[in-house]
Amino acid sequence: MKFHVLAETLVALEKESSRTKMTELLADLLSRATPHEAQIISYLTLGTLRAQYKANQFNFAEKSMLKLLAHLEGLTLSEFTHTVRERGDVGIAILHSQWPSQEKNVTLLEVYHQLEQLQTLSGTGSQEEKATLLAAILQSVDALSASFIIRIVLGTMRLGFSDMTLVDALSWMAKGDKSLKKDLEQAYNLCADIGYIAFLLKDQGPQALSTVHPTIGIPIRLAAADRAESPRAIIEKIGPCYAQPKLDGFRLQIHIDTKNKRIWFYSRNLHDMSSMFPDLHEAFQCMHVDTLIVEGEAIVYDEETESFLPFQETVKRKRKHDIEEVAQSLPLRLFLFDILYLNGKAVIGMPHTERRALLEQTCGLCSDKRINVIEEKYCTNPKELADYFNEQITRGLEGLVVKRPDALYQPGKRNSNWIKLKRHEEGHLRDTIDAVILGYYSGMGKRASFKIGAFLVGIYNPEKDRFETLAKVGTGLKDDEWIELKKTCDEIRVAEKPHNVVCASELAPDVWTNPSTVVVILADEITQSPLHTAGKTENHLGFALRFPRFMGYAIDKTAIQATSIDELKKLYKLQYTS
């Protein structure tokens, strides 16, 4: 396949707002690809070179890109920068200038391998090497192809769909309908590498999807908890249950391969954070296993007061530099709450009680106090559960995660196998909302100097693979936080409303952003709205937040892990229950 063919489809996808038509376009493209090309297409359409859990950064600054492109087009940096500002995107800008090449015969594989080479360059003098290699790549293709290569390198490939649309497209490619979606999702949940799933489907057919199993070094998509309003509601729903303290730290999935002396730490959004936890890496040397996958919560612990520190302290451990020094000043404890894989065998199909026993047997005797199996209590009635909940609140924790005794571990699923019960904040809404920033409004009055006065947030609709507006937020930030928020938004600003955002014209922000930054919002209540599009249908009004305020960033969540429409509907109902 020629890279230009991919570029033409990407243009069509970018102009299309219908998810159904996007799915058809992707399915048609994938049907014409070889297995290896389908794998690459799956990555590139999501703006990466490989699976999203792997490192995908090119570390090539936009300023360096502007200089390079200005040189290739025979313009001054000032002239080219002006064109970029007019067009709103550096990749789009070259489509409206005199590009030096019209070549359309370079293959997808050729471009991909060159980009792989570009990404491997590092060290002293690597920026010059990168500029030379990138110039050669760009000069070998036409302007349309170059525009997407530029956006891949800069990390600004935003086509308005997620991996779930790719799953649909793969089903349409193979079956002509969505009948294969369930099998594809199951395989993808066990092996969070959409490119590999695409390769397997093209290479061996649908029957091969059943052969996908958990693999050490490839993250399993995380199970998630449902919500409930009270201990009584939980007992009525699932009966006697096991309750565990809910910690506010880093949720980690840990993979151990003793033979090859490898340990991986994957975050909630399945990013590889292995380099950030040298202390935990050392602690896991006490494990006498061949292979192991476990999940837990890492949180900074004050040894003197024997207490957990707030998430604001734990988040300081997320860094690229001075890792060893910070690890000493902010020591972590890891509390393991589940086991998924042991010595070559997946155990996610076992009930909770059996997995718990296996977890204690495998990890409970670890001599290093940095590794712990989280406590749990068996509760048979609402009073027992309420008493245990209040005990955790007194300890300064968030609440409980309650689990059915027979619950299997279901990757990528949110259901009543696990239910979270959190302390009630001020106001009628009994939980915070994880929302996605969609854009911001210019400031007025005191905030005029900040050039930002409020921001628009939305939530994710997984059924339609899109973001729907929920609130205009203007409180909860200090002056310096407004400045920082604007900087964050400007780094992901886009020229026009993304295709996967549904917003009433009356609410359109002054600056649109790519829906990628997740924030925590607290409000007095969820109301119905004729303007906001969250959950809106022909027969029902949308949902909105009354008196929303910013509480912080959900740094370990991706946009599609934000609060979903189904969760919002449950929260709306919960606020009216006693």
What lies within 8 Å, CB to CB, of 298 at 6+ separation is: 249, 250, 252, 277, 280, 314, 317, 332, 333, 334, 335
Cβ neighbours around 345 below 10 Å, total: 9
Q: Which residues contact 344 (CB under 8 A, 6 or more apart)?
A: 290, 291
**Given the structure tokens 């690890």, which residue do they identify?**
327
| 478 within 8 A of 551, measured Cβ to Cβ | no
Q: Strand pairing partners for 297? A: 251, 335
Structural contact between residues 485 and 420, judged by C-beta atoms closer than 8 angstroms: no
Say whether 246 is catalytic.
yes
Task: Tell me which DSSP letter residue 310 carries.
Answer: P
Sequence-ordered list of residues with C-beta below 8 angstroms from that of 164, at least 6 positions apart, any chain: 462, 465, 560
Give CA–CA dist 499/116, Å, rounded: 29
Beta-bridged to residue 493, according to DSSP, are 513
Choose among 190, 64, 42, 180: nearest CA to 121. Answer: 64
Cα(452)–Cα(468) distance, integer angstroms:
21
Contacts of 170 (CB under 8 A, 6+ apart): 27, 30, 180, 184, 197, 198, 201
Quick one: tokens of 525? 């209540």
Closest CA to 456 of 427, 426, 497: 497
208 secondary structure, DSSP code? G
The residues near 493 (Cβ < 8 Å, ≥ 6 apart) are 511, 512, 513, 514
Question: In Å, how far from its chain's centre is CA 378?
Answer: 33
Q: Could you say which of 202, 246, 486, 557 is catalytic?
A: 246
Provide the terminal-to-terminal Cα distance of the chain, rounded to the nearest Å: 61
DSSP 317: G
**Which residue in the block uniquely carries the two structure tokens 């600056």?**
511
E strand or H helix at 545: strand 542-546
DSSP letter, residue 49: S
Q: Distance between CA atoms of 140 and 257, rounded to whole angstroms?
A: 43
Dist. CA 273–CA 26, nearest whole Å:
32
Provide Rg for the chain, Cα atoms.
Answer: 25
- DSSP-based three-state secondary structure for 19: helix
Query: d(Cα 290, Cα 433) in Å, to the nearest integer?
Result: 40
Active site residues: 246
